[in-house]
Structure 1
């Protein structure tokens, strides 16, 4: 009846969002969505920031600049400096969450058929965005130390692949694997980007959520060590995981020519991100509230991660393999049984009032049906223990129809 554009003739929604219909069921425990813990929101600090922001009611209620409120951009420049990155306001664009940053970048950079490299497994919304942009998605393997850069170098050097337009990576506490790309691999990746002239898209929503191990500089910070590499890095960051997702405050740092075009693209999308929440974020950052509150978040996530990993080892250690992350929000696991399928396990798990995300949601090709992602951030400590017990109970049941 309707003549939809090619990408929307047979679109598929987020496989993770499809699970949200179960969240309202009484007694349901969720290891599924990557939600921050709501009981760790700095409600008082944000209320105080809102009160200060609203002293300039017109600033909050009127349209704002497309690239972001100057006051917020100043605070974000200062925040990035504390993360080891110097950037100019002309390189920064405030977005409605970092996902919008990716959407804008793809609009200005990727033509249908362009090669886009991604980690595999990868964040599903990224795969969805690339498909809607009609990019040719080429996947790259990962291990416990992140993206296999040696494999990438071999692939690029083989001459069998058209020059990629970009490579998307979550190098620190990746979604879904929780892995962190080693420093030497980051340097090697930057050198490849300069040599083969592709953009590294560094998505960094979790970098501040480290609760163990040694910090690794962002790829953007390491551009100082590889000549010419700053021209080939676009960096996304967000307050969603470290302050509150309801603010919808993200930002993009990109070479000025890319940033300028993203601003123009954003003008056609939403004119500007909400000035009210931008002003709240600016006041919150200016007060130093984030630095005061982050240790509480990371300490609690560390305890939750330990509780989940210990419970998985004790309850499911004979049937489940997993990597213990040093930060972030996720544990990536794999069922060890022959022919194991986490989607089948999920159906039994739902009946036992426990949710997780089957691994197939994170694969563009060569799906590993036995894999699954567990998020420890949102559930409480007691729910983590009980959730693993329910998961074990679900795993001991026969498959439907068996």
Structure 2
């Protein structure tokens, strides 16, 4: 009998879930793997400058929590998150113009997880989600895994078009709108107060949730801050605000926050219990200690000064680096510049030649939920020094000169 069993043909293992088959890898992560060589000057990844991390302050915070209360710092914790960290985030949120209590917040493993929790709590397969076009790539992945139908909302140089939003909402009856209104990824655009008010009004009148993602808001180099969409009339009871420490403290901490109305927040807590129980206790404790004893605002001032200089180096050098007829913006903060090459160029097709010159960018096409613009390019200016940026632009000019036109 055992011999007969051994000789019998085996059946194939069941296939992957449909969500895994339909959701591709992030092109940005794939490009980062291709450009990991140290000689490459990469404008591709949105990687904060590591030399600007407050490593001494963070090390001291970890040393303190491990010396003073190691058993608590290394133990399981509540799903909602550290009371001290939530209180600190609430205080910073209130100072920035949105009255917030610690109990309004859920600590997440990066704001990326916050968006995943929202998708889990809100979306059934087939539900419609509206996104800016172009849109943050990982959000498209999250909505794909949730089985949502993603519908793009047109944008212009000022960001999402509220008139188009109203028309599409009336037609598609979406459940959720996802926006990055301040220094958007990938375009660097910022939505005006007038457009934010219009977005809030549409959401209230048409009946939909808003996921407002704000990882870059504290990286403003010039101009006055614009209030969160969540603060405008009509949006208060229907907006989930996602925050992150990745761009202002360090991405390796994987710390974020979710501010949401009570019923939605409770649903996200349950989703988090199913996902990872809670965010790293020791990282939360260290972050809370850091915020209590260090001057994060002073640190951010130094970061903003450095990033402003790097943005200037990139934007001021693009005229010489890109083909005549290219367009680009000059963001007032954040991490990204959005450029378009002249008609007939294909940024994706050109990338291998660009990488051969030890420089890299991210083609803009994958960021579109609707028909892509093959001429679009996302350029990050924060990772390299001004001198490296100028060298990278010189390499980019030579690569594009050598490649000539690519007709897509």
Measured against the shorter chain, the TM-score band is over 0.9
- Taking the aligned partners of 1:35 and 1:388, their CA distance within structure 2 comes to 18
- Shift in alpha-carbon separation, 1:167–1:287, aligned structure 2, 3 A: same
1:153 maps to what in 2? 166
1:119 maps to what in 2? 132
- Shift in alpha-carbon separation, 1:401–1:362, aligned structure 2, 3 A: closer
Return the offset for 1:313. 2.0
Number of residue-to-residue matches in the alignment: 394
Aligned 8 A contact 1:344 1:399 in 2: no
- Taking the aligned partners of 1:374 and 1:401, their CA distance within structure 2 comes to 20
2:37 to 25, 38, 48: 25
TM-score (norm 2): 0.94
SS of 1:395's partner is helix
For residues 289-334 of structure 1, give each alpha carbon's deviation from its aligned partner in whole angstroms, at most 9, with x where no partner exists.
Answer: 2112010000110000000000112333624210100000000000
Does residue 1:365 correspond to 2:370, yes or no? yes
- Taking the aligned partners of 2:119 and 2:406, their CA distance within structure 1 comes to 44
Aligned 8 A contact 2:322 2:341 in 1: no
For residues 118-149 of structure 1, give each alpha carbon's deviation from its aligned partner in whole angstroms, at most 9, with x where no partner exists.
Answer: 00000110011111111111101112221111
For residues 146-173 of structure 1, give each alpha carbon's deviation from its aligned partner in whole angstroms, at most 9, with x where no partner exists.
Answer: 111111123334xx32x21100000000
SS of 1:99's partner is helix
Structure 2 unpaired stretches of 5+? 1-11
1:241 maps to what in 2? 247
Aligned 8 A contact 2:128 2:175 in 1: yes
Does residue 1:394 correspond to 2:399, yes or no? yes
2:3 maps to what in 1? none
- Taking the aligned partners of 2:295 and 2:312, their CA distance within structure 1 comes to 27
For residues 341-387 of structure 1, give each alpha carbon's deviation from its aligned partner in whole angstroms, at most 9, with x where no partner exists.
Answer: 00122111110000110011201220100001000010111110011
User: Alignment RMSD, CA only?
Assistant: 1.6
Aligned 8 A contact 1:175 1:330 in 2: yes
1:95 maps to what in 2? 108
- Taking the aligned partners of 1:3 and 1:145, their CA distance within structure 2 comes to 44
2:56 maps to what in 1? 44
Return the offset for 1:64. 0.8
SS of 2:366's partner is helix
For residues 42-64 of structure 1, give each alpha carbon's deviation from its aligned partner in whole angstroms, at most 9, with x where no partner exists.
Answer: 11111122222221111210011
Deviates more, 1:130-139 or 1:47-56: 47-56
1:264 maps to what in 2? 270
SS of 1:394's partner is helix
1:61 maps to what in 2? 74
SS of 1:268's partner is helix
Return the offset for 1:400. 10
- Taking the aligned partners of 1:126 and 1:24, their CA distance within structure 2 comes to 24
1:167 maps to what in 2? 177
For residues 212-252 of structure 1, give each alpha carbon's deviation from its aligned partner in whole angstroms, at most 9, with x where no partner exists.
Answer: 122111112x23xx1x4311100000000011001111000
* Counterparts of residues 6-21 of structure 1 (less than 5 Å): 6-21=18-33
Aligned 8 A contact 1:144 1:180 in 2: no
1:180 maps to what in 2? 190
- Taking the aligned partners of 2:195 and 2:405, their CA distance within structure 1 comes to 44
TM-score (norm 1): 0.95
